[in-house]
Structure 1
Amino acid sequence: MTKWIVDASHSNISFSVKHMMVSKVKGHFGEYEGTIDGNAEDLTGAAIQFKIDASTINTNSTDRDNHLRGADFFNTEEFPAITFVSTDIVKNGGSKYAINGDMTIKGVTKQITFDSQFEGIGKNPWGVEVAGFEAESKISRKEFDLTWNQALEAGGVLVGDDIKITLDLQFNPAQ
């Protein structure tokens, strides 16, 4: 069984959420680590783990990012990490997978599923094989105790409930 380590310099963990019911705010996390223990070309039977430094959230707005780090949202002083541990991986034909697992945000753990696509294996310029994946999921922020919101004068709320998570990942074999 091969161990693969996420190459953060060639990967991206991003998210989007409705803002004011009419647009989306997008952001990403700057620091994270992750592993796959198993065959990258056939994830069935593999074990996948991720740990994200929640304080590295970046939405291109310092005030908003500081608010997101605070007690109203991630409370990163008390809950510095967002984690994911796979519990089951189901092949959905070809190179597509449903990666089921436990995600923990702000001390709350919920089962979620990432719809994933294996993008292939290639050699980088230094002759090292790398593996690429894309994955998406959607979570309810309220289910993870991220409940802060503000009512809008015209109706609706400032921040939507559904968070779309997108992972674009490159993995290198562990050395």
Structure 2
Amino acid sequence: MKKTFAALMLGSAMGLAGMSAQAADYVIDKEGQHAFINFKISHLGMSWLYGRFNDFEGTFSWDAEQPAESQVQVTINTASVDSNHAERDRHLRSADFLNVSRHPQATFKSTGVEMTGDDSAKVNGELTLNGVTRPVVLDARFMGEGEDPWGGYRAGFEAYTTLKLKDFDIAMDLGPTSQEVELLLTIEGIRQ
């Protein structure tokens, strides 16, 4: 389940069974908080540190007939990092980690989608984090789609990836077990 980031938003990824045959555009449901960007990293090899980004936005589009044409874009406000500990969050925002004063946003833009199963795909893209842009791959999976109780139409996905901190010039060394961060993304989009 580890690949490389960003999934972020992956929804675009899937041209899945049972979905309409024409391209559709979706906005990630930020207002209803039906989307999450979570992370975990080993803390000194003794426990897991969990956190999330509370403020992000994005869009995705996909075509069940041509999933390779799907696209996704996400922008994360890095100052919204939340590990449920104010002092640690200040440190995560510092130049030791996310350097939010110089790089207040991280972005992901897909460059291609490769279907790996009926409801799974690899979403290739470029992640810019801490001023560094790198190619990353998300392992994405379709969760479901359909009409919602408010007259809209939604599609949902999840994705996993792993990032090496040093690949994004995050030099803080927390020991050999803490060189990578795992990301879990769950995304629900509203069709436009």
Instruction: For 1:147 and 1:92, locate their aligned partners in 2 and report how far apart those are by CA, in whole Å.
Output: 34
- Cα separation, partners in 2 of 1:41 and 1:140, compared to 1, 3 Å: farther
TM-score between both structures, scaled by the size of structure 2: 0.83
- Matched letter for residue 160 of structure 2: E
Which residue of structure 2 lines up, in the alignment, with residue 123 of structure 1?
Answer: 147
Answer yes or no: is the 8 Å Cα contact 1:97–1:117 preserved in 2.
yes
Which residue of structure 1 lines up, in the alignment, with residue 9 of structure 2?
Answer: none
Instruction: For 1:36 and 1:4, locate their aligned partners in 2 and report how far apart those are by CA, in whole Å.
Output: 5
Gapped runs of 5+ residues in structure 2?
A: 1-22
User: What secondary structure, in the 3-state scheme, does the structure 1 residue paired with 2:122 have?
Assistant: strand
Answer yes or no: is the 8 Å Cα contact 1:40–1:131 preserved in 2.
no
The number of aligned residues is: 168
Displacement over 4 Å in runs of 4+: none
Gapped runs of 5+ residues in structure 1?
A: 151-156
Answer yes or no: is the 8 Å Cα contact 2:173–2:179 preserved in 1.
no
User: What secondary structure, in the 3-state scheme, does the structure 2 residue paired with 1:10 have?
Assistant: coil
- Matched letter for residue 44 of structure 1: A
Give the structure, 1 or 2, with the largest relative contact order (CA under 8 Å, sep 6 or more). Answer: 2
Measured after TM superposition, the shift of residue 41 of structure 1 is: 8.6
Matched, 1:21 2:39: no
Which residue of structure 2 lines up, in the alignment, with residue 154 of structure 1?
Answer: none
Matched, 1:6 2:28: yes
Q: Kindly report which structure 2 residues correspond to 1:1-175, keeping only aligned pairs within 5 A, or say none.
A: 1-8=23-30, 9-39=33-63, 43-150=67-174, 157=175, 160-174=178-192
- Cα separation, partners in 2 of 1:23 and 1:13, compared to 1, 3 Å: same
Answer yes or no: is the 8 Å Cα contact 2:139–2:160 preserved in 1.
yes
Alignment RMSD: 1.6
Which residue of structure 2 lines up, in the alignment, with residue 153 of structure 1?
Answer: none
- Matched letter for residue 6 of structure 1: I
Instruction: For 2:66 and 2:73, locate their aligned partners in 1 and report how far apart those are by CA, in whole Å.
Output: 16
Instruction: For 1:144 and 1:41, locate their aligned partners in 2 and report how far apart those are by CA, in whole Å.
Output: 35
Instruction: For 1:15 and 1:25, locate their aligned partners in 2 and report how far apart those are by CA, in whole Å.
Output: 8
- Matched letter for residue 163 of structure 1: V
